[in-house]
Amino acid sequence: MIRENELAARHLVLPLFVQEGQANETPISSMPGQSRLSLDLILRRAEEVVEAGISGVALFPSIPDDEKDTVASASTKPDGLLQKTIRALKSNFPELLLITDVALDPYSSDGHDGVLIDGRIDNDQSLPILAAMAVSQAEAGADIVAPSDMMDGRISAIRDALDQAGKVETAIGSYCVKYASSFYGPFREALDSAPRGGDKKTYQMDPGNAREALRELRLDEAEGADWVMVKPGLPYADIIHLLRTETDLPVAAYHVSGEYAMLRAAAEKGWLIYEDCLMESLLTLKRAGADIIFTYGALDAANLLREEY
C-alpha cells in the first residue's frame, strides 16, 4: 500500500537486433538469451511483446559489411533492412510502438556515429545524413526516431526535416545524455559496429561529468526533443535523477548490454539469481526517475510481473 515506486510492463521497451534472411537466428555470445533475428522471427518476438503488455520495441539493424560505406548511404534505402522491418511490424502490430535508432555506426565502414574525415568526426556533414535517415524511418512507419549519435544540433536538424517531409507527428526520443561507456561492448558485438579506429570520446560524454548533462538537456529541449534518455542506466542513476528534477519531459534510461550481460554471466556462475537482480535493477532505474526503460530483459521482467513478482 505504501510502496513509493512501481514497475509495470508498460514502462519497458525491448531492443531487437534485425538481420537478413529467413528463419535466421544468430545467438550473441556476450548476451546470453539474445540473438540477431530475421524478419520472420522478429514478427514472432513482437507477438510475445504485445501479449506481455510491453509498450514497444527498439530496432537495431545488422548490416552486412559490403553494404557499409563512409557516409552510411544504406541507411536511407526505402527497401533497406530496417525499413522493411518497420513496415512489416506496423502492418502486423499497429498498436506496438516502434522506436528506431538514428546514428551512422550500423551503416558506416568506419564504425562511428558521424562522418569521419581525416581522422576527425565532422559534425556538420553528419547532420543532413542523420536527418535523411530519420525521415526514411518515419516514412516507413516509425513512431519515434531516437538519435543516439550525440552530434551537436541533430535534434533541430531532424525535427526540421521531419516537419518538411510532413511527418509532424513522428516523435524524437533523444539519447540526450550518452556517456563514452565501457558497458557497450556486447552491443557492438551484436551489430559489428565497433569503431574501426579511435574511440567515441570526442562526441560521447565523459563519465566524470554531471553538469554537462544539464547543458545537453537544455539544448535538446530547445531543439524539440519529445523525451530524453540517459545511457547507460545503473552506473548513471544519479544523472537520471538529475534530469528528472530538471525537466518536465519524459525521461528514459537504457539498461545497456553490459549491464544485462553481467547479470546473465553471474547467474550462470551461480553467484546471483538473475530474475531477482533484474527486477531490482529495473526498479532502481524507476526509483531514480526513469519513466521508460530500455532493457534486454523486458520480456523476462514482464513475465515476472504477470506473476505478481
Is the CB of residue 101 less than 8 Å from the CB of residue 146?
yes
User: Which phi and psi (to 5°) does residue 249 adopt?
Assistant: -70, 155
Give the amino acid at 278. L
DSSP 75: G
Catalytic residue among 68, 167, 200, 231: 231
Quick check: helix, strand or coil at residue 296? coil
In which element (H, E) is residue 56 found?
strand 56-61
Q: DSSP for 78-94, please give it.
A: TTSHHHHHHHHHHHH-T
Is the CB of residue 45 less than 8 Å from the CB of residue 84?
no
Nearest partner of 150 among 170, 171, 121, judged by Cα: 121
For helices 257-268 and 274-288, give the axis angle rounded to 10 degrees.
Answer: 150
Catalytic residue among 178, 201, 269, 286: 178
Radius of gyration of the chain measured on its C-alpha atoms:
18
Q: What burial letters (b/e) apply to 230-249, b meaning 16+ CB within 10 Å?
A: bbbbbebbebbbbbbeebeb
Answer yes or no: 167 catalytic: no
Report how far residue 138's alpha carbon sits from residue 144's, in angstroms, rounded to the nearest whole number.
8
Answer yes or no: 178 catalytic: yes
Cell numbers describing residue 72: 552510411
Nearest partner of 158 among 218, 220, 213, judged by Cα: 220
Quick check: helix, strand or coil at residue 76? helix
What residues act catalytically?
178, 231
